[in-house]
Amino acid sequence: MKFSYVNSTVIHFGQGQIEQITNAIPSDANVLVIYGGGSIKKNGVYDQVANALSSHKWYEFSGVEPNPTKETMDKAIELVAAQGITYILAIGGGSVIDGAKFVAAAALHSGDSWDLITGDYQPNSALPLGVVLTLPATGSESNMAGVITKKATNEKQGFLTPLVRPQFAVLDPDAMKTLPERQLINGLVDAWVHVCEQYITVPTGNMVQEGYAETLLKNLLVLGANFTQRDDNWHANLMWTANQALNGFLGSGVPHDWASHMMGHELTALWKVDHARSLAIVQPSLLRNQIEGKRAKLEQMGRNVFALCPSDDLAERTVDAIEAFYNSLEVETRLVEHTGDKQDAIEAILEKLKAKGFTQLGENRAIDLPTIETILADAL
Ligand code: NZQ
Ligand code: ZN
């Protein structure tokens, strides 16, 4: 166990907390409010934010799409320069928040914004950012990651810098009430896989992180089982669980996998598969392929999360239980968005991963291109 841990985002959790924005953003800031396709106008969140910012000077930028593109966010970067923006407020789910993070960092770069993704631009400052979360899933509201797509080339790739960790995040579960069931389920599945990526590796002896991971996984199982009886508590528990799943704490001092995410991003880039659903397609096949290395941890998960009884095939039964969890939520674990030739699809994904240099994935960097091909042959 060796790690440095900080999460500096102030969380304002609970009903009515949007009013905290008034004091959370300096009164002399020149604010750019960034949001998506307009859901915030239907659930009252926009009006509450406008009210909280009534004595601030602010502008707005809308139209951030799911899986935000560099092309769209470049327009926001132009607005930042034109209006002398000094503070960014993102209102939405992972896409809006990630897009806003990209703007916060790339706006201070004189070259092409994509340099932030390639690493050609290494920022040493970014505009300050605040968040109002409307879709719990990604944990983006208090982490230092962002994922952006370049439309021109269909590339989807992440970036990481502590400079874009939001200064504050408002988590009001009431904002979730207009979420379509599909997005709620996406949130559940994404949070679940985030925990898995930081847990299903090898036993570490780190009792705090491993125990907490199991608690979060059990929460998500209960929320899935009670999906049809959603009340205020249900929404609040999903919002807080999804946040904790990817705020940096769980992954401190333990190995990480993330191979399902790396492969899943290509399914989204190529066939617009929802992020969470791309993970449900890849992960069961990946776990079956990597079962020997992950056996001890899968057995632990089978015992502690699914309460399965011991047997020689406990790891296999645990993977079956994970797949059954997705199926219970009516989430496909096979690619249905692509109807063309399967081998062509696999080749297209391999090409994209190769171009990024993502040819050694997983906690041991043991998932090489031939292994990825085998996993995809099973998953697609
Ligand atoms: O654009 P609006 O109109 O707001 O509609 C959105 C969007 O269509 C809608 N929505 C959000 N809140 C709503 C609502 N509709 C009704 N009521 C509400 N309260 O939901 C749709 C999907 O939103 P999106 O932000 O795309 O979903 P999500 O939060 O799942 O984010 C997915 C993106 O985050 C990235 C993914 O790759 C993907 O691009 N990720 C970011 C991570 C991070 N920064 O740490 C980690 C994740 O693994 C993930 O990769
Ligand atoms: Zn994810």
CATH number of domain containing 316: 1.20.1090.10
163 and 212 share one domain: no
Digit-coded pLDDT (tens) for 171-228: 999 999 999 999 999 999 999 999 999 999 999 999 999 999 999 999 999 999 999 9
If you average pLDDT over residues 156-160, what whole number do you get?
Answer: 96
Domain CATH code at residue 14: 3.40.50.1970
If you average pLDDT over residues 86-101, what whole number do you get?
Answer: 98
204 and 105 share one domain: no
* Domain containing residue 208: 181-379
* Mean pLDDT, the chain, integer: 97
289 and 333 share one domain: yes
- What 3-state DSSP class applies to 373? helix
Q: What is the pLDDT of residue 315?
A: 98
Q: Are strands 30-35 and 57-61 parallel, antiparallel or unpaired?
A: parallel
Q: What is the pLDDT of residue 98?
A: 98
Cα separation of 62 and 128, whole Å?
Answer: 19
- Residue 4 belongs to a domain: no
> Would you say residue 1 has pLDDT above 90?
no
Q: How far is the CA of 119 from the centre of ligand 1 (A)?
A: 24
Cα separation of 237 and 5, whole Å?
Answer: 24
Number of domains in the chain: 2
Burial class (CB in 10 A: 0-12, 13-18, 19+), 265: buried
What percent of the chain stands above pLDDT 70?
100
- Residue 136 belongs to a domain: yes
- Residue 301 belongs to a domain: yes
271 and 123 share one domain: no
58 and 192 share one domain: no
Q: What is the pLDDT of residue 339?
A: 79
82 and 221 share one domain: no
Which residues fall inside 5 Å of ion ligand 2, going by CB?
190
Digit-coded pLDDT (tens) for 355-380: 999 999 999 999 999 999 999 999 99
Among residues 140, 175, 210, the one where a domain terminates is: 175
168 touches 11 (CB < 8 A) = yes
Digit-coded pLDDT (tens) for 30-47: 999 999 999 999 999 999
For 182, the token pair is 């599909």
Q: What is the pLDDT of residue 226?
A: 98
Q: Whose CA is nearest to atom 34 of ligand 1?
A: 94
With vertex at residue 144, the alpha carbon angle to CA 140 and CA 149, rounded to the nearest 5 degrees, is 65
Q: What is the pLDDT of residue 363?
A: 97
Q: Which residues contact 278 (CB under 8 A, 6 or more apart)?
A: 263, 264, 265, 267, 268
292 and 310 share one domain: yes
Q: Whose CA is nearest to atom 31 of ligand 1?
A: 94
Digit-coded pLDDT (tens) for 322-343: 999 999 999 999 998 887 899 9
201 and 274 share one domain: yes
19 and 112 share one domain: yes
pTM: 0.97
- Residue 94 belongs to a domain: yes
If you average pLDDT over residues 69-84, what whole number do you get?
Answer: 98
> Would you say residue 258 has pLDDT above 90?
yes
Digit-coded pLDDT (tens) for 2-19: 999 999 999 999 999 999
362 touches 259 (CB < 8 A) = yes
Burial class (CB in 10 A: 0-12, 13-18, 19+), 112: middle
Ligand 1 pocket test target in 64, 95, 193 with most atoms within 8 Å of CB: 95
156 and 211 share one domain: no
Q: What is the pLDDT of residue 153?
A: 93
- Residue 304 belongs to a domain: yes
Q: How far is the CA of 264 from the centre of ligand 2 (A)?
A: 9
159 and 205 share one domain: no
If you average pLDDT over residues 260-271, what whole number do you get?
Answer: 96
Q: How far is the CA of 220 from the centre of ligand 2 (A)?
A: 15
Q: What is the pLDDT of residue 368?
A: 97
> Would you say residue 123 has pLDDT above 90?
yes
Burial class (CB in 10 A: 0-12, 13-18, 19+), 357: exposed
Q: What is the pLDDT of residue 172?
A: 98
Q: How far is the CA of 209 from the centre of ligand 1 (A)?
A: 26
Task: Show the ligand 1 pocket: residues with CB < 6 angstroms.
Answer: 36-40, 43, 66-67, 92-96, 98, 134-135, 137-140, 143, 145-147, 175-176, 178-179, 183, 186, 190, 246, 261, 275
Among residues 117, 147, 175, the one where a domain terminates is: 175
Q: What is the pLDDT of residue 152?
A: 95
- Residue 3 belongs to a domain: no
Among residues 160, 175, 190, the one where a domain terminates is: 175
- Residue 79 belongs to a domain: yes
> Would you say residue 77 has pLDDT above 90?
yes
If you average pLDDT over residues 130-143, what whole number do you get?
Answer: 98
Q: What is the pLDDT of residue 338?
A: 80
- Residue 288 belongs to a domain: yes
Ligand 1 pocket test target in 65, 129, 147 with most atoms within 8 Å of CB: 147
With vertex at residue 89, the alpha carbon angle to CA 87 and CA 90, rounded to the nearest 5 degrees, is 140
- What 3-state DSSP class applies to 289? helix
Q: What is the pLDDT of residue 242?
A: 98
170 and 185 share one domain: no
What percent of the chain stands above pLDDT 90?
98
For 335, the token pair is 């690619």
Number of Cβ within 10 Å of residue 143's Cβ equals 23
For 371, the token pair is 């292994």
